[in-house]
Amino acid sequence: MNLKHRIASIMVCGALLSPAWMAMGDTPPPATAPAAAPAANTSPASGNAADAPAPPAPDAPSGELKTLDQEVQGLKKDVVDLNKDLFVLQEELLFPANTQVALYISMDVGTFFALDAVTVKIDNKEVKNYLYTAREADALLKGGVQQIYLGNLKVGKHELVAFFTGKGPVERDYKRGASINFDKGVGAKYLELKITDRVPKHQPEFLIKDWE
């Protein structure tokens, strides 16, 4: 599906969903709703008895509630899907694949290094300076991979330098750099900053991996 079709479909979805949301509200039906529903249904009809609806089955209100809940859940899912599509679309528009460069960071073990900050330079220009909170560093230690930078680069040769600041072995201030020369082709470029432990030397190791 091309970009125009996707934009059109997302707009149509949004237009269809918005009145439904306005009518239903954002909150799910309250748990006390069934108590009111039977009372309304079982009240004596003031008009013609023949026109009055048949008394509902005992499980009808809960069934209606279930249907309503399913509808709400369905709408919520549609909104989440729509949001996902919009996010992907935004990424495609802002960072087209032919110029896209994405940089990720991961950390393995981390016995010899407590990450505090990362500074990234591409072609000698600072593109990112990221301070890590204890919670974020902990998430990396638990196996998380963070997208630290997403940008655009022209096709050709480039140099990336990353500086890592933190606490090294024996709680000493530690600053190290790593660099890589890479070729940006017509497709997206993915690079990974890897912090690992070099156990024999009791030192951390900083690598930059080029994901082809």
Partner 1 sequence: MRRTLSVGSLILSATLAASSIAAAPTIVGKDAPDFVLRGLDGRNLRLSEFRGQVVLVNFWTRSDGDSRQQMPALDRINITYQRAGLVVLGVSVDDDLRRSKEFAAAMGVSYPILFDTGSQIGKDYMLQKMPMTILVDRAGVVRYSAVGFKRGDERVYLDQIRELLRE
Q: State in angstroms the smallest separation of the CB of 174 from partner 1.
A: 13
Q: State in angstroms the smallest separation of the CB of 131 from partner 1.
A: 4
Round to whole Å and give the CA distance between 113 and 3.
45
Q: Which is nearer to partner 1, 21 or 130 (CB)?
A: 130
Element (H, E) at 198: strand 189-198
Q: State in angstroms the smallest separation of the CB of 132 from partner 1.
A: 6
Q: Which is nearer to partner 1, 35 or 117 (CB)?
A: 117
- Residue 106 main-chain phi, psi, to 5 deg: -140, 160
Distances in whole angstroms, Cα of residue 168 to Cα of each of 65, 66, 77, 123, 174: 58, 57, 45, 28, 5
Q: State in angstroms the smallest separation of the CB of 124 from partner 1.
A: 20
Q: Which is nearer to partner 1, 113 or 189 (CB)?
A: 113
Give how many residues touch partner 1 by CB under 8 A: 8
Q: State in angstroms the smallest separation of the CB of 83 from partner 1.
A: 17
Cβ-Cβ contacts under 8 Å for 150 (sequence gap 6 or more): 91, 95, 100, 101, 102, 103
Q: Which is nearer to partner 1, 116 or 197 (CB)?
A: 116
Compose the 126-155 pattern: x for residues touching partner 1 by CB under 8 A, - for all others.
-----xxxxxx-------------------
Region class of 108: left (phi > 0), else alpha (psi between -120 and 50), else beta: beta
Provide the token pair at 105: 């960071």
Gyration radius of the chain's alpha carbons: 28
Q: State in angstroms the smallest separation of the CB of 110 from partner 1.
A: 16
CA angle 94, 100, 102 (to 5 degrees): 110
116 is a site residue for partner 1 (CB under 8 A) = yes
- For 87-116, letters b (16+ CB in 10 Å) and e give eeeeeeeebeeeebbbbbbbbeebebbbbb
Q: Which is nearer to partner 1, 126 or 159 (CB)?
A: 126
Positions 37 through 96 that interact with partner 1 (CB under 8 A): none
Q: Which is nearer to partner 1, 78 or 136 (CB)?
A: 136
Q: Which residues bind partner 1 (CB under 8 A)?
A: 116-117, 131-136
